[in-house]
Amino acid sequence: MKKKIDMFIQCPSCKGTGIYSGMGESENTGVICYQCNGTGKYHYTYQYEEFTERKIRKDIDRVYLSGYGYKIATGIINFSKVGEIDMDKEGVSYAEFLSGKMPEHIKKLACPMLAAQGACRDIKGFTDICNKLNGGWLSYIPDCKNRCNSDECWKRFEKK
């Protein structure tokens, strides 16, 4: 069943003031907010389909937690910088998913930082060790120099 939300909300651009002051405006100056035309309110309309039940897809055989930036498929895949992974042994079947089983991370495909960066940051000192293993700040996780030892990283992550 289609539903519609139609209301006025605080303007997200000017935070309800009607005046916008950003990069283009000097100190102590503002312009009339283009989004609300100076009113401070924004007309918000959203249409959505009310949830009744999970729908079935007939085109899915296997479900994975994530692709971690890689194109994934079933069968044996040779991933660059990772090697071969039998994707039929990873994830869960669609039938298992429908019965409530959730897939786990593909540990050979992604280190904990790539799979769950927020959770890694919540573990005291976890990212510090990642940076140390890389000889400084790790700015692009797929370039981690310790990638070949990601089993150690997963053990450290799961130990918390």
Burial tier of 47 (Cβ tally within 10 Å: 0-12, 13-18, 19+): exposed
| Span 118-148, pLDDT tens digits | 899 899 999 999 999 888 888 888 888 887 7
The bridge status of strand 83-86 relative to strand 92-93 is unpaired
Listed range (6-10, 13-17, 98-102, 131-135) with the worst mean pLDDT: 131-135
Look at residues 152, 64, 67, 156 and name the one whose alpha carbon lies nearest to residue 119. 156
Return the bridge partners of 49, or none.
Answer: 2
| Span 77-130, pLDDT tens digits | 998 878 899 999 999 999 999 999 999 999 988 899 989 988 998 999 999 999
Domain boundaries, the chain: 2-49, 55-110, 112-160
Q: Cβ–Cβ contacts within 10 Å for residue 23, how many? A: 4
As a whole number of angstroms, the distance between CA 67 and CA 87 comes to 11
38 Rama sector, left if φ>0, alpha if ψ -120 to 50, beta otherwise: left
**Taking the mean position of all CA atoms in its chain, how far away is CA 87?**
21
As a whole number of angstroms, the distance between CA 113 and CA 40 comes to 41
pLDDT of residue 91: 97
